[in-house]
Amino acid sequence: MVEVYIPYLTRVEGHGNIVVKEKDGKIECRWEIPESPRFYEAMVRGKPWDKVAHITSRICGICAAGHTLASIKATEDAFGMKPTEQTWLLRMLLNYGEQIQSHSLHAFFLALPDFAGAPSVIHLIPSHKDAVLAAVRLKKLGNDIADLIGGRAVHPCCALVGGFGRIPTEKELLTLKSKLQQGQEDIKLMTTVYASLKKNIPNFERKTEYISLHWDKEYPWIDGDIVSSEAGVVPYREYLKFIHEWVKSYSSAKRAKNVFSSYTVGPLARVNNNYKQLLDSAKEVSEKLGLKIPSHNPFHSNLCRVVELVHCIDDAIAKIDKLLAKGLKEEGLQVAPRAGRGVGAVEVPRGLLVHDYTYDATGHIANANLVIPTNQNHENIEDDFRAWVPSLIKQKLSDEQIGFNLSMLVRSYDPCISCSTHLLKVDFKRE
């Protein structure tokens, strides 16, 4: 029996184990999640409406704004509230800050070294110094947006049910616009780097169901209904018609399926389902990167992150221009709690996020259901293993090479397993 064990592979978040066993031509593949449960759904039960978003933002340090917005939208949906245009524009900016933070971190610091043949981004500094510095500036740009609009870079405190606790000034928005214009130049450089390395992306495809938000008006981030590439569209409040969760004995995280044995969410699903809604500048980058839509190659998620970065930066400038043209004003927060159920569905960097709350008459949570993007991707990752491993074995790759390829595949999903970077254990066995 041959066994390969990689105990501390970096550039993923949380604890996940890849296990592949081969015996007499029979192959078993597992994507194991040994993380401890976190019980956020139970944690918010009994909590008042004005505390819930602050609690759920702590689910993730990277997707804190997304959890805040999903929570706020669920509460407003339950209370029959609609945001003002100014609030919506500011929420879009907050969302863009998160997308820029996360996509720049993953595409340029976590994924790019794989395609460049480097162990980490540090090793790229001698050959790609300008690109690394541009990536750092893009990450800081996302932080700056979150800090200005949300009140701080992590776990926003200014985004509230009904509006914002603080409105940015015209001067602050003009300064932010200037930073975004620098971001436009930085993303051009990063696009060129990715285009030069796209030949190193593995050529693996598997027919997959893609689920995301869809909105006719523009690219969907915090609005729209839920679309499946295989099953059409359902209203966001009826998400359970598409999302069927279940568990496996070797995974503490839920799995999800719909038409097939699994589906995927995230940047590839969004671009596949909403390509027409992308800005022209983002479509041009898609063509430069050689992205053919629809794509069934999970490694193309990294290309989609670059495409979405262009869209987010350019549209953030447009949203700021709209806010400045209309004039900023203080808006009172008027909330009337009532009994009812509300659903908030948004797109965070890793895919579709759903918060589903039921409130009692006093405005306290009676029940909650949270559907996290990475949970929806776990089974799809495992199905990718099953489809790809036989081909890797036929190529007579070493155990180390197979382990590297599967690790790179997992990284393409950018899994947020526990919101902290720990290890990815690869356990490959042949008998």
Please give the backbone phi and psi of residue 269, each rounded to the nearest 5 degrees, phi first: -65, -45
Average pLDDT of the chain to the nearest whole number:
92
Q: What average pLDDT does range 156-162 have in this prediction?
A: 97
pTM here? 0.94
Q: Which residues pair with 4 in a beta bridge?
A: 428
Instruction: Report residue 260: phi and psi, to 5°.
Output: -100, -170
If DSSP codes are grouped into helix, strand and coil, which group holds residue 47? coil
| pLDDT on residue 21 | 84
Distance, in Å, from the CA atom of 316 to the CA atom of 173, rounded to the nearest integer, reads 11
- Whether 429 shows a pLDDT value over 80: the answer reads no
Is the confidence at residue 4, as pLDDT, over 60? no
Give the distance between the most distant pair of CA atoms in the chain. Answer: 71
348: β partners: 351
Cα dist from 409 to 257, 298, 339, 404, 405, whole Å: 20, 7, 44, 9, 6
- Identify the band that residue 419 occupies on the pLDDT scale cut at 50, 70 and 90: very low
Which of 119-128, 310-319, 410-419 is the least confident region? Answer: 410-419
pLDDT digits (tens, 9 = 90+) for 377-391: 999 999 999 999 999
In angstroms, rounded to a whole number, what is the distance separating the alpha carbons of residues 78 and 163?
A: 16
Q: Which of helix, strand or coil describes residue 132? A: helix
What is the helix (H) or strand (E) element at residue 288, kind and residue range?
helix 280-288
Dig out the tokens for 23 from the structure. 């015996």
Angstrom distance (rounded) from CA 226 to CA 305: 20
> Half-sphere exposure of residue 188, counting CA atoms within 13 Å on the CB side?
8
| 131-150 tens-digit pLDDT | 999 999 999 999 999 999 99
pLDDT tens-digit profile of 341-365? 999 999 999 999 999 999 999 999 9
Residues paired with 430 in a beta bridge: 2, 22
Beta-carbon contacts of 119 under 8 Å, excluding residues fewer than 6 positions away, are 113
Q: What is the residue type of 54?
A: H
pLDDT of residue 132: 95
pLDDT tens, residue by residue, 40-69:
888 999 999 999 999 999 988 889 999 999
Alpha carbon distance 154, 12 (integer Å): 19
3-state secondary structure of 28: strand
The string of DSSP letters for 78-99 reads HHT----HHHHHHHHHHHHHHH
| pLDDT(7) > 50 | no
Whether the CB-CB separation of 159 and 97 falls below 8 Å is answered with no
Domains of the chain by range and CATH?
Answer: 33-430 (1.10.645.10)
Q: Give the Å distances, CA to CA, from 379 to 44, 247, 375, 388, 393.
A: 27, 10, 8, 14, 21
